[in-house]
Amino acid sequence: MGPASASRPFSNTLNPQTRLALERGIDLKNLPHHIALIMDGNGRWAQERGLPRVAGHKAGVDALRETITTCVRLGIEYLSAYAFSTENWGRPQEEVDYLMHLFAKTLIAELPLFKQENVRIAFLGDIEALPQKTRDIFHKGLSETSSHTGMVLALAVNYGARAEIARAARLIAQATADKKIRTDEIDAHLFSHYLYTAGMPDPELLIRTSGEMRLSNFLLFQLAYAELFLCDTYWPDFSCETLLDAIFSFQGRHRRFGKIEEGVHEC
């Protein structure tokens, strides 16, 4: 064994992301099953470079691709990314149009990656209200990845948690009126089946970039017990290393879910 390989404790047969995770002390048996992302700071990243805001969104796609690849390589099962909120329609029309075009272009461009990496696409939010071209490409993405059995990439587009919760309440009211469910059956578990995330576990880790400390109407029901990782990095600068920092931080948390530490009984 030469000096270079002697200084590297982990096998070279591991993929680079997993090797880096192990070198950083990450426990691969204690990874979050579901990571949620608020990708924030694209506009500021661009403005600080004297570029138009949309250049930040374009650079943000590269950061998302790197994050998807890292999550796949680590074996994360679900990744949810907030791409466009129900409130984002209030941005200048030019930026909204650019984002709709970027989403469609990105989905088409990344389909080969999703096929290669066995990633299944899902959407959170009302995608039927999107411009026709974007909507059609999203449906193509859904059908062409529907048989994939690897990581689920849930893209939140035209998503707002309050609208999602109101929609679930409407669907439950209708199911009750149709006598498909009884009112005494309605609890948090049943409610979760009427959310866009039905069938997915709740995220254990929420990452928000750019120094903001808000949930901004993202997965309000599902994030009830998520651990938060807030970093100053603007989304386009988010990398494999930042993601590993977030996972390392997550693994150091004591998750009690409203209970107390085992073995602590004194009052």
Among 64, 127, 195, 200, binds ligand FPP (CB under 6 A): 64
Q: Which is nearer to ligand FPP, 17 or 85 (CB)?
A: 85
136 contacts 61 by C-beta, under 8 angstroms: no
Among 31, 36, 42, 250, binds ligand FPP (CB under 6 A): 42
Q: Are 71 and 35 in contact (CB under 8 A)?
A: yes
Query: Which residues are part of the catalytic machinery?
Result: 40, 88
Cα gap 121→147, rounded to integer Å: 10
Q: φ, ψ for residue 228 (rounded to 5)?
A: -100, 135
Pick the closest to residue 76 from 32, 138, 36 (CA basis).
32
- How far apart, in whole angstroms, are the C-alpha atoms of residue 210 and residue 202? 23
Selected from 21, 76, 107, 207, the binder of ligand FPP by CB under 6 A is 107
State yes or no: residue 71 binds ligand FPP (CB under 6 A). no
Question: In the block, which residue shows the tokens 């680590």?
Answer: 74
Residue placing its CB nearer to ligand FPP in the complex, 20 or 122: 122
Query: Is the distance from CB of 26 to CB of 248 less than 8 angstroms?
Result: yes
Candidates 41, 125, 160, 203; binder of ligand FPP (CB under 6 A) is 41
* Bridge partners of residue 34, in order along the sequence: 78
Smallest gap from residue 210 Cβ to ligand FPP (A): 6
What binding mask, one character per residue, do residues 152-171 give for ligand FPP by CB under 6 A, x or -?
---x-x--------------
Q: Which residues bind ligand FPP (CB under 6 A)?
A: 39-44, 57, 60-61, 64, 83-84, 88, 103, 106-107, 155, 157, 210
